[in-house]
Structure 1
Amino acid sequence: MEIITGCAVEEILSDGERVTGVRTDAGVHEAPAVFVCAGIGSRSVPGAVPRPPITPQRGQMLALDARALGLKRVVLTVNDPYLVPRADGRVILGATREFAGEDPRLTVGGLTWLLNEGTRIAPGIAACAIEETWSGFRPTSTDYLPLIGQGAQEGLYFCTGHGPSGIGPAPASVRLATALYLG
């Protein structure tokens, strides 16, 4: 198996019934199977049939200088937010769940919600400096279930649409998609 990164897929190639590879901006790569796992980009991979029903969900996040807190474990809540400590002492506070198209802008409402909810579950962060803010998009399927399995053509597989909690089940999803391919 070869995993190709750092290039854009221009087309999934097929002989009509079976996938034969991909054409990328770096050349043609023949393959017995192609896995579409491109986040929100999965919905626009040329030749991916059917086109996966993916909607981008914006998540606003921020990084706090939380060295003084000494947080060592991830803090998860039922409806967000979450706190993820990093080795450098920063803590990531995330994230909103917003259907805002592909608008990457941060909003006062989103950051206010994060800060209010974050200090409610971990009051000590109120004294932390904000080091960075950003947003990202999660590929969310229409029924909120990940899209894992074979496409319309033999050899075409999807592993996308995990939504806001995709980072957690992603390793298991990849194992499942691989098992479906291998039989």
Structure 2
Amino acid sequence: MSSITFRPYRHDDLDALRAIMVDAFDGVSIDQGIERVHGPINGRDWRWRKGRHLDEDIARDAGGLIVAEAEGQIIGFISTWIDHEAGLGHIPNLSLRPEWRGRGIGRHLIQLACDRFRAAGLTHAKIETLEQNAVGNHLYTDCGFREVARQVHFVADLRPNPESHAAKEPPP
């Protein structure tokens, strides 16, 4: 990992991070599952919705984003935020370009996030993933996270005759 550097987020990173995140979450995004069942909502697709998660991460704690670079190019990032009152560090998003996966970069980003949490006096870190995210499930367990619960996501179509609007593809 000698040619890879890690640095704080800068505002001019936004477009690159959004593109990396949308690409990384293809196939493992709740927003994509919603679209698969209900189709695009309000004229927006799942990529737009997932990209907004990054905006939320930045609004909550821009200083909690750590960017990975190789040869001057952004290759991934992790977003974090700290809940001092609850004593928890949160990792809402971890994304890497596909060609950089499997090299320990995601693991190192998680370590940097946990170091940030420890420095803030926290004792626990939380990360979430979908069941179908095999890479995330393996990585997070390998990094010391333990599964504590499973969650099911539901979305209701509130329009009249919702069945006439539904997409045809069932969830995985």
TM-score, normalization by structure 2 = 0.27
Question: Which has the larger helix fraction?
Answer: 2
Query: Whose strand fraction is larger, Structure 1's or Structure 2's?
Result: 1
| TM-score, L = length of structure 1 | 0.26
Mark the structure with the bigger radius of gyration: 1
